[in-house]
Amino acid sequence: MKTKGIKKDKVNIVTLGCSKNLVDSEVMLTQLKGNDIHATHESAEDDANIVVINTCGFIDNAKQESVDTILRYVDAKEDGHVDKVYVTGCLSQRYRDDLKNEIPEVDAWFGTMELPMLLKKFNADYKQELLGERITTTDRHYAYLKIAEGCDRPCSFCAIPLMRGKHVSKPIDQILAEARSLVKNGTKEILLIAQDSTYYGLDLYKKRALAELMDRLSDIDGLDWIRLHYAFPTGFPEDVLEVMAAKPNICNYLDIPLQHASTRMLKLMRRGTTREKTTQLLERIREKVPGIAIRTTLIAGHAGETQEDFDEMMDFVEKSRFERLGIFTYSHEEKTHAYSMDDNVPEKIKLKRAEAVMELQESISAEINEGKVGKTFKVLIDRMEGGNFIGRTESDSPEVDNEVIIDASKHYLRVGDFANIKITNSSAFDLYGQPT
Q: Which of 276, 262, 366 is nearest to 315 (CA)?
A: 262
Instruction: Give me the half-sphere count of Cα atoms (radius 13 Å) on the Cβ side of residue 20.
Output: 23
- Residues 201-213 have a mean pLDDT of 97
Q: What is the pLDDT of residues 311-348, one digit of tens each?
A: 999 999 999 999 999 999 999 999 999 999 999 999 99
Q: How confident is the model at residue 7 (pLDDT cuts 50, 70, 90)?
A: low
- Residues 232-251 have a mean pLDDT of 97
Laid out side by side, the sheet with 324-329 consists of: 142-146, 189-193, 225-228, 250-255, 293-300, 324-329
Instruction: Look at residue 2 in the predicted model and tell me its pLDDT.
Output: 36
In the predicted model, is pLDDT for residue 206 greater than 50?
A: yes
Q: What is the pLDDT of residues 121-177, one digit of tens each?
A: 999 999 988 877 889 999 999 999 999 999 999 999 999 999 999 999 999 999 999
Q: What is the pLDDT of residues 347-384, one digit of tens each?
A: 999 999 999 999 999 999 999 999 999 999 999 999 99
Q: How confident is the model at residue 50 (pLDDT cuts 50, 70, 90)?
A: very high
Taking the whole predicted model, whether its pTM rises above 0.75 is answered as yes
Instruction: Look at residue 6 in the predicted model and tell me its pLDDT.
Output: 53
Instruction: Look at residue 401 in the predicted model and tell me its pLDDT.
Output: 96
